[in-house]
Structure 1
Amino acid sequence: MRFLNRSAGRLSRHRRAPLAGLVVLLLGLLLTGGLYSAFSPGAQADETSTTAEDIQSGKELFINGCSFCHGQNGEGVLTENGTQYGPALTDVGAASVDFQVGTGRMPLAQPGQQAVRKPAIYTDEEIRQLAAYVDSLGTGPAIPTEADYTLPETNEDGSAFDREAAISRGGQIFLTNCTACHNFSGSGGAMPRGGFAPSILDVDSKYIYEALLTGPQSMPTFSNGNLTPDEKRDVIAYIRTLEEQPTYGGFGLGALGPVAEGLFAWVVGIGGLLGFAIWIAAHTTRTTKSKPGAIVEQGELT
């Protein structure tokens, strides 16, 4: 009888062991998920969280203001000649919408022209709803947070952040990748086929980050694989310093480089010299021709 009790107890322990392990595993998963939900930044509810109502409102705004060029579902519109009337938006992401609509570049007055910065016609709330709807159509970069494009005060270990080193790194990246179009001062410049690179001075840091991330129009895309988020942030910090630099050479001519300087030299410099030379020639003393044998008295010269 004692043997049977020991056998039954041993069998009961063996039966409880797998069940207990499963219970412990489930409790561990629930605890891990709860902690992640509590401390994950993306899981915290805030004013910028996307809801189904935002997506629906964004869809209505999209159909009314964007579908003529981009299609009812963001699939894009082709012309009869096979050219793209409006590009597809299925994988552009919320960041692209926030940049294009937030800077007033979209909607365009006429498809095909270069989009220029102008006052936005949508409110911040409507822009957020449009971005939420387009983001729901596919994959794409999200709207960056302030921490993405602003230099921190301290490092992760609590030590002081070296702002000068970050600005120096951003300057090297800017001089290597950006000056060919935006020139060394960020004032913009001419592009092929009648286009132009806009000035990036006095532009909100968020929009500069989104432009780097999405590559609007002729601008190349600097994804996180090409430029890390920290490198993008450093470039923006360097651009902010360009806005504070004085013009050491005197009249800056818009900081547009040698083309503007050469035009100024030809029109004002050489043109002024030619005008002065003509004025001198018009006011020099001239002599009159006299007959043979005539004596020209001093003072008769006109």
Structure 2
Amino acid sequence: MNRSAGRLSRHRRGRLAGAVVLLLGLVAAGSLYSLLATGATSSAAATKAATTDTQVEEGRQLFLVSCSSCHGSNGQGITTTDGNEYGPTLVGVGSAAVDFQVGTGRMPMAQPGQQAEAKETAFTQDEIDALAAYVASLGPGPSTPDESDYSIDDLTDEEQEAAIVRGGQIFLTNCTACHNFEGSGGAMPRGGHAPQIRGVEAKYIYEALLTGPQQMPSFSDGNLTPEEKRDVIAYLGSLDDATGYGGFGLGGFGPVAEGLFAWVVGIGSMVGFAVWIAAHTTRSKRKKATA
């Protein structure tokens, strides 16, 4: 009996026994950690889901009060008796469209019109996020971009300069026909207009490119990649720091405005001055003749 106990004691003190004990301890610790981590992840996911559901419900209540009169109680849109849209459907427009339209004050509109004008927003950012979450729940669509999508701050100076050059080429090719070469805006058919996009917050420019508000075409990621959209925004931002070598820019509206100014103010002033000189000379001669 004592011999068996002695052999067992020697085996316990052996290297193999120590390794086995260590392995069992690691397995037990790993299993316990997995159980705790899984529980924490499940709890976090449940909390996030509950928060999202609460936000969607809050957005639905705001939508029913502020938006349903034009867009329908379920965002399905409202059609008038003559077949026109009183308010378009919001199914599938995504949260980006809501963040742009409501964040810039274009929605809600005082009354339906050709084009919604930017104005001071009627909602806080939390309320806008709730509305966006509710509309996003109606159907898949473009999501609200993150700052990393439209900012070039994390790039080196050389990469930023290259992004601005690429963005300028894209802008001149796709945007100047409506927004002017300087982003100062311009007139559009049927009473619409392309608004000025100089000084507009970068997030809203990205969302406008992504969703195509009013008469503007949408540029999906298949048309312009996220990097190309970011480059366009970088180019527009660089215009604010650019030096105007042409003198008085007249708002950057282009050769029509500049030509009109030259004819009305420039040539008109010279004609008026010439008439004044002629009239003054005539009066001087008459005075001399009388004397």
- Band of TM-score, shorter chain: 0.7 to 0.9
Q: What's the CA shift for 1:193?
A: 1.9
Q: What's the CA shift for 1:258?
A: 1.2
Q: Which whole-Å CA distance do the structure 2 matches of 1:160 and 1:241 have between them?
A: 13
Does residue 143 of the first structure (1) align with residue 132 of the second (2)? no
Specify the SS of the correspondent of 2:190.
Answer: helix
Write the deviation string for residues 37-89 of structure 1: whole angstroms up to 9, x where unpaired.
Answer: 98xxxx98999x96111111100100100011101100111111110110000
The residue number in structure 1 matching 2:258 is 261
The residue number in structure 1 matching 2:163 is 166
Aligned length: 252
**For residue 289 of structure 2, what is the amino acid of its counterpart?**
E
The residue number in structure 1 matching 2:214 is 217
RMSD after superposition: 2.8
Contact 2:70–2:87 (8 Å) recurs in 1? yes
Does residue 248 of the first structure (1) align with residue 245 of the second (2)? yes
The residue number in structure 1 matching 2:16 is none
Does residue 189 of the first structure (1) align with residue 178 of the second (2)? no
Does residue 285 of the first structure (1) align with residue 286 of the second (2)? no
Q: Which whole-Å CA distance do the structure 1 matches of 2:282 and 2:214 have between them?
A: 63
Range that drifts further, 111-120 or 56-65: 111-120
Residue 192 to residue 129, structure 1, CA distance change in 2 (3 Å)? same
The residue number in structure 2 matching 1:8 is none
Contact 1:75–1:89 (8 Å) recurs in 2? yes
Contact 2:114–2:191 (8 Å) recurs in 1? no
Q: What's the CA shift for 1:161?
A: 6.8
Does residue 206 of the first structure (1) align with residue 203 of the second (2)? yes
Q: Which whole-Å CA distance do the structure 2 matches of 1:44 and 1:248 have between them?
A: 57
Contact 1:152–1:161 (8 Å) recurs in 2? no
Identity across aligned pairs (percent)?
63
The residue number in structure 1 matching 2:173 is 176
Contact 1:153–1:160 (8 Å) recurs in 2? no
TM-score with structure 2 setting the length: 0.79
Contact 1:92–1:214 (8 Å) recurs in 2? yes
Q: What's the CA shift for 1:255?
A: 0.9
**For residue 82 of structure 1, what is the amino acid of its counterpart?**
G
The residue number in structure 1 matching 2:124 is 123
Does residue 77 of the first structure (1) align with residue 78 of the second (2)? yes
The residue number in structure 2 matching 1:24 is none
| Correspondences of 1:49-64 after superposition (within 5 Å) | 51-64=52-65
Specify the SS of the correspondent of 1:223.
Answer: coil
**For residue 300 of structure 1, what is the amino acid of its counterpart?**
A
Range that drifts further, 68-77 or 258-267: 258-267
**For residue 271 of structure 2, what is the amino acid of its counterpart?**
L
Q: What's the CA shift for 1:152?
A: 5.3
Q: Which whole-Å CA distance do the structure 1 matches of 2:235 and 2:105 have between them?
A: 25
Write the deviation string for residues 249-282 of structure 1: whole angstroms up to 9, x where unpaired.
Answer: 1111111111211121121112112212221232
Write the deviation string for residues 70-117 of structure 1: whole angstroms up to 9, x where unpaired.
Answer: 011001111111101100000100000000000001011110231111
Q: Which whole-Å CA distance do the structure 1 matches of 2:252 and 2:210 have between them?
A: 26
Specify the SS of the correspondent of 2:86.
Answer: strand
Q: Structure 1: any 5+ residue segments left out of the alignment?
A: 1-30, 289-298
Range that drifts further, 168-177 or 92-101: 168-177
Range that drifts further, 161-170 or 228-237: 161-170
| Greater helix content | 2
Q: Structure 2: any 5+ residue segments left out of the alignment?
A: 1-33
Specify the SS of the correspondent of 2:145.
Answer: coil
Write the deviation string for residues 223-243 of structure 1: whole angstroms up to 9, x where unpaired.
Answer: 000000111111111111011
Specify the SS of the correspondent of 1:85.
Answer: strand
Q: What's the CA shift for 1:221?
A: 0.4
Write the deviation string for residues 103-162 of structure 1: whole angstroms up to 9, x where unpaired.
Answer: 0010111102311111111000000000000000001010000111112535xxxx9872
Range that drifts further, 221-230 or 271-280: 271-280
**For residue 57 of structure 1, what is the amino acid of its counterpart?**
E
